[in-house]
Amino acid sequence: MSYYVHSVPGRLRVKIPMVRCEPEAGREVVEIVENIRGVRHVEVNPVTGSVVVRYDPKWSRCEEILEVLQKHGYFDEQKVLPNDPLVENAAVKASRIIGKTLFGMAVEKAFEGSALSMLAAFI
C-alpha cells in the first residue's frame, strides 16, 4: 500500500489507497480536511483514490494537511512513492507510442502507390 503526493502552492494531490472504492472513507477525508484553516475545496475520486485539496497558501501548508491526514490514519509518509519512477514510466509509455506512430507512418509511406511498388518494397 503506497501513497503518491504532488503539490504546488495552493493545490495538493494525494493518492490514498484506503479511499479507493471506499466512499465512506472518502467522505471522512473530506470532512477532516475541510476543517483545516485555509482549505477552500476538497475533492475525492473514489475510483482512483485521489484526493485534491485546494487551499490558500497564506493560511495553510501542504505539510500541515498531510500531518492531519496522517494523524487520522489516512496517510503514511514512510510509504510515499517518489515521483521519479512514475515520471519514468510515463516517459517510457509515451516513447513507445511515438515510436509506433513513426514506424506506422514510415511503413505507410513505403507502401504508398501501386501494388507493384508494394511488391518492390518487400524485395
- Average pLDDT rounded to a whole number, residues 49-53: 95
Interatomic CA distance for residues 70 and 63, integer angstroms: 10
Between these two residues, 119 and 33, which has the higher pLDDT value? 33
**For the segment 53-80, what is each residue's pLDDT rounded down to a tens digit?**
999 999 999 999 999 999 999 999 888 8
Q: How much is the mean pLDDT over the chain? A: 83
Interatomic CA distance for residues 65 and 119, integer angstroms: 65
**DSSP symbol at 80:** B
Block residue for cell numbers 484526493: 51
- What CA dihedral angle connects 33, 36, 37 and 38, to 10 degrees? -20
Is residue 85 very low, low, confident or very high in pLDDT (cuts 50, 70, 90)?
A: low
